[in-house]
Amino acid sequence: MKKTMYMNPIVLERADPWIYKHTDGYYYFTGSLPGYQSIEVRRAKTIDGLKEAETLLVWHAPETGPMSQLIWAPEIHYIQEKWYIYFAASDHAEIRDREHHHRMFVLENSSIDPMNTDWEVKGQIITAADTFSLDGTTFTHQGKLYYVWAQLDPRIPGNSNLYLSEMANPWTLTGKQLLLAIPEFPWEKRGFSVNEGPAVLIRNGKVFITYSGSATDENYAMGLLWAEASADLLDGYSWHKHSEPVFVSSEENKQFGPGHNSFTLSEDGQEDVLVYHARPEKNEGIDPLNNPNRHANAQVFSWDTEGFPVFGEPVAYAADVRASFQAK
């Protein structure tokens, strides 16, 4: 069976890409914008169409305050007949310490069509600890709304761990906040000890959570957690973790640091699609967060006989696309 092939990169200079396929037939796309000061939404009827799609800046950071700097990793979701954008922000562009670091926030839009600037700030996602936190995503399972995110715990060595909580509504956590995963394997601790960028996929009687580890240069890679769909997701014993990454840099295909992914379906709804960012060359001599060469890619993936995802390796750009990067 032939897999759909997408013309990567699907969107240039968009790290942390998020695609949501809505019932109106559109793919809605957002991701981190270079400069980290605003949130963009674009939409198209096809994934390849996102490259030249209808685009709108739906929200811009205020000049001061906790949401004024470093707007990272927005995600657009449709929950309970309203639109929500989850993102992380800081109050300072340079200082990152106990007082000046990222927290998570939510925008809400009640319109049927979200391509407008009627987005209202619902507020901060309040977690049990008031520490560095980012990369929140949501999913619904067995009638319950859940939130997964990355956060620093100063008692645990490293930069960020993954947590899971049920939600009382799309902007409020409720009940137990489970420590889901910490950086423990060598591949998760290259440059920085990181578990971040979770994305959820429910298939084959299991709940899968992919995530990203290590520094955001060519060491960045994807890992995998899973639980049985019938299990209590807030019981830590329900979860399992691969010791090895499931998606890594490809020297042969010139794709480096793949990660911070999302999932969607192909245009005919028959294939699962991995959406991720990667760099066409290794990061050299610059803070990787200030290097805008992370581009959004999409590729179809398969499943093994035990019902686990098989992502393969990041696909190469077409020869003419690669040549255009080399000419710059």
Q: How far is CA 113 from the centre of its chain?
A: 23
> Exposed/middle/buried for 222, CB within 10 Å: 0-12, 13-18, 19+?
buried
- Catalytic (active site) residue 196: yes
- What is the b/e burial string over 138-177, where b = at least 16 CB atoms within 10 angstroms of the residue's CB? bbeeeeebbbbbbbbbeeeebbbbbbbbbbeebbebeeeb
Active-site pick, 135, 196, 217, 218: 196
To which residue do tokens 């709108």 refer?
A: 56
Per DSSP, what are the bridge partners of residue 203?
206
SS3 276: strand
- Catalytic (active site) residue 287: no
Per DSSP, what are the bridge partners of residue 226?
208, 240
To which residue do tokens 């710059």 refer?
A: 328
CA–CA dist 205, 233 (Å, integer): 13
> Exposed/middle/buried for 320, CB within 10 Å: 0-12, 13-18, 19+?
exposed
Helix, strand counts (H, E) of the chain:
1, 21
SS3 295: strand
- The encoded tokens of residue 18 equal 């998020």
Total residue length of the chain: 328
Query: Rounded to the nearest 5°, which phi and psi values hold at 125?
Result: -75, 110
Query: Rounded to the nearest 5°, which phi and psi values hold at 279?
Result: -105, 140
Q: How far is CA 17 from the centre of its chain?
A: 6
Active-site pick, 16, 135, 188, 218: 16
The residues carrying an active-site annotation are: 16, 196
